[in-house]
Amino acid sequence: MMIKEADFNYKYDVFLSLRGEDTSCTFTGNLYHALRNKRIKTFFSHEIQNDDDNEQLQLPPSIIKAIHESRISIVVLSENYASSAHCLDELVNILECMTMKNQLVWPIFYKVDPFDVRRQRGRFGEAIGKLERDYSEMVPQWKEALFEVSNLVGWRYGTEYEYEIIQKIVESTIKSLPHYDVFLSFCGEDTRYSFTGFLYHALRREGFKIFMDDDGLEGGNQISQTLLQAIEKSRFSIVVLSENYGYSTWCLDELVKIMECKKVKNQLVWPIFYKIEQSDVRNQTKSYGKAMKAHEDRFGKESENVHKWRSALSEVALAKGDHIRENEYEHEFIKKIVERAIEAENHM
């Protein structure tokens, strides 16, 4: 059975595997900050990066979990990488995820020869020889992992400026990540060219990757696969609940999918009640009551879709969000939303 990306609950974009004493304060540390500056969620282990011995072979559960919850693993193969049983065990787990979950794995040969990694020569051979005395059962697995990772496409550092190779890695990472930071769900006729349009550009200026459907995307009665995938691949969704949102079956189908991702993937959902009352959404009164009545007349009171729409509206109205009223300046409100979005992302 083919495993779809949506079947996995990704928490991180990148997992960095490194030997701390070699590169944590130099190359890998700089790479980590370059990735973070591009809003790429990166796991950089501070627990075992400076391990000086191999007394405890077993990786902490948090490390194993982080590997499995990452889309990409970058393995910085430096001079002392193979002297750490922790690093080698990380590598085994990473390659398992590559096989089972199609995780991308990129080796970086940091001032080492890929052939030395592949054949365990030089410092890699010496390190494996020392570990063999205490971990004879694990060594064959580690050797196989080193051989396998050395045959993957990656980068070799040693002959160019550090910033140049880091820039290439960051660019490749951005191209490989299919997700958005924010999915904007809104009723086009109400707010496309006003509030939501301004919010979109304000978030973009801060470097957020936003999915906002264009005018030609909505068509027919069914939500497109493009939109469903965009919702699944977003970190969080902002739902702009306006006067006519409840009339759009398209918007309501979006909302059902958004609330499903909230439950299944723990996706953050942030409702904005745009010049309407939260209680009207929750209880389906006023314009939302009229909209639901119109849908019942069209599809029937027992329609499964209508039940789903009502449930999704009630659920989103209970989520923590914001309320913009008639007499508020929109630009001030948008500024607050952007600030909160930055804060939320930093804590995700």
* pLDDT tens column, 133-151: 889 999 999 999 999 999 9
pLDDT of residue 55: 52
Domain encompassing residue 112: 5-176
Last residue of a domain, one of 176, 195, 227: 176
What's the sign of the alpha-carbon dihedral 213, 215, 217, 218?
positive
Amino acid symbol at 249: T
Residues 222 and 118 reside in one and the same domain: no
pLDDT of residue 348: 66
Q: Which residues of the chain fall short of a pLDDT of 50? A: 1-7, 47-52, 215-220
Burial 44-62 (b: 16+ CB within 10 A, else e): bbeebbebeebeeeebeee
Residues 140 and 211 reside in one and the same domain: no
Residues 164 and 222 reside in one and the same domain: no
- The residues, any chain, with a CB within 8 Å of residue 232's CB and separated by 6 or more, are 6, 257, 261, 265
Residues 168 and 258 reside in one and the same domain: no
Number of H helices, E strands in the chain: 16, 10
Q: Clarify whether 332 is annotated catalytic.
A: no
Residues 149 and 267 reside in one and the same domain: no
Q: Integer distance in angstroms from the first to the last C-alpha of the chain?
A: 31
Q: Which CATH number does the domain housing residue 223 bear?
A: 3.40.50.10140
pLDDT of residue 45: 79
pLDDT of residue 233: 85
Q: Which of 79, 90, 254, 345 is catalytic?
A: 254
- Phi, psi (deg, nearest 5) at residue 316: -65, -30
The DSSP annotation for 4-27 comes to PGGGS---EEEEEE--HHHHTTTH
* pLDDT tens column, 40-95: 999 997 544 444 455 556 789 999 999 999 999 999 999 999 999 999 999 999 99
Judge whether 74 and 32 are in contact, CB under 8 Å: no
Residues 50 and 167 reside in one and the same domain: yes
Q: How far apart, in whole angstroms, are the C-alpha atoms of residue 44 and residue 20?
A: 10
- Phi, psi (deg, nearest 5) at residue 77: -85, 100
Number of independent structural domains in the chain: 2
Last residue of a domain, one of 176, 202, 228: 176
- Vertex 169: Cα angle to 168 and 173 (nearest 5): 115
Q: How far apart, in whole angstroms, are the C-alpha atoms of residue 88 and residue 145?
A: 8
Please return the burial class of 3, using the count of CB atoms within 10 Å of its CB with bins 0-12, 13-18 and 19+: exposed
pTM given for the model: 0.68
pLDDT of residue 214: 62
Question: How many C-beta neighbours within 10 Å does residue 135 have?
Answer: 17
Residues 123 and 14 reside in one and the same domain: yes
